[in-house]
Amino acid sequence: MIKSMTGFGSREKEITSLGKACVEIRSTNHKFLDIVLYLPEELAVLEDKIKKDIAGKIKRGRVTCVVSVIKKRIRSDFINKALLKSYAQSLKNIKRQLSLKSEVSLDTLIHLPGVLLTSANKKSAKKSWPQLRILVSKALDDLMRMRQKEGRALAVLLKKKAVFLQERVNKINKRFTTVIKEKIRGRDAEERAAFLKETDITEELERLSFHARNFSSRLSKDKTLGKELDFIAQEMQREANTMGAKSCDTRISAEVVQIKSQIEKIREQAQNIE
């Protein structure tokens, strides 16, 4: 079943050696897979691992993953005290120069670049990875369920539109047969040939009908289909444009306008499919 590219998932849990961790993952439309991570400095070493796990489940879309951590406590030997003191003095000078009254908290100072020692950060991050990985996986599962649910709704909507196209094609086909008989009556062979060359839309109707059936059948496939469905919709649009240009009847032209409108809506929806 097709999947939407829009989704959201989040999980949080107390993780040993790290603190209370929260993982939020959201995804939106994108032509390719684009993963953006926002991690605390101490977890930067895990960036590639998290991206790999996300890419294992999502093939297309812009994915934003935010990991935040609330620490219970920070060991004193994990802190670059000299740098922390330097930050505090600099901020104190700026506060005096600008006549600021607000206080700078220790929590703010602790999270300034380089205050928490890198070696300690890496050790803590690697130790917490097995538990954090489970949290990322569960948030991903939540996101995937949302994408699948929206995908099912999209499939129903798109199948209805494909059926609408097929019905309009059949209607135009019948009308075209009647119109052609009327238009060529009384003309000689050369005139009929010239007229049909410019107005015959039989091939376009056949191809549009095939594309509509093919589009509908692809919706039940369990694989990444977004680009393929968009391509089929482009082909349908091409046939509809040709039919509109060759039409010799106002009623057929009106039907083609409706077809083109539906195809445009199909393309808009198909661009949200993985």
| DSSP, res 5 | S
Specify the pLDDT at position 136.
Answer: 97
Other CB atoms within a 10 A radius of the CB of residue 156 amount to: 10
Specify the pLDDT at position 76.
Answer: 47
Specify the pLDDT at position 69.
Answer: 87
pLDDT tens for residues 185-196? 888 888 888 888
User: What is the pLDDT tens value at each position of the chain, 274 positions in all?
Assistant: 789 999 999 999 998 777 899 999 999 999 999 999 999 877 888 999 999 999 999 999 999 999 998 876 555 446 677 777 787 778 777 776 777 677 777 667 666 776 665 544 566 778 889 999 999 999 999 999 999 999 999 999 999 999 999 999 999 999 999 999 888 888 888 888 888 889 999 999 999 999 999 999 999 887 788 999 999 999 999 999 999 999 999 999 999 999 999 999 999 999 899 9
Q: Which residues contact 110 (CB under 8 A, 6 or more apart)?
A: 74, 79, 84, 116
pLDDT tens for residues 159-199? 999 999 999 999 999 999 999 988 888 888 888 888 888 99
Paired tokens of 3: 């999947």
Specify the pLDDT at position 163.
Answer: 95
Burial of 164 (0-12, 13-18, 19+ CB in 10 A): middle
- List of long-range contacts for 265-270, beta carbons under 8 Å, 24+ apart: 265/161, 266/158, 266/161, 266/162, 266/215, 266/233, 266/236, 267/230, 267/233, 267/234, 267/237, 269/154, 269/157, 269/158, 269/161, 270/158, 270/226, 270/229, 270/230, 270/233
Distances (CA, A) of 260 to 67, 104, 136, 219, 257: 44, 61, 43, 20, 5
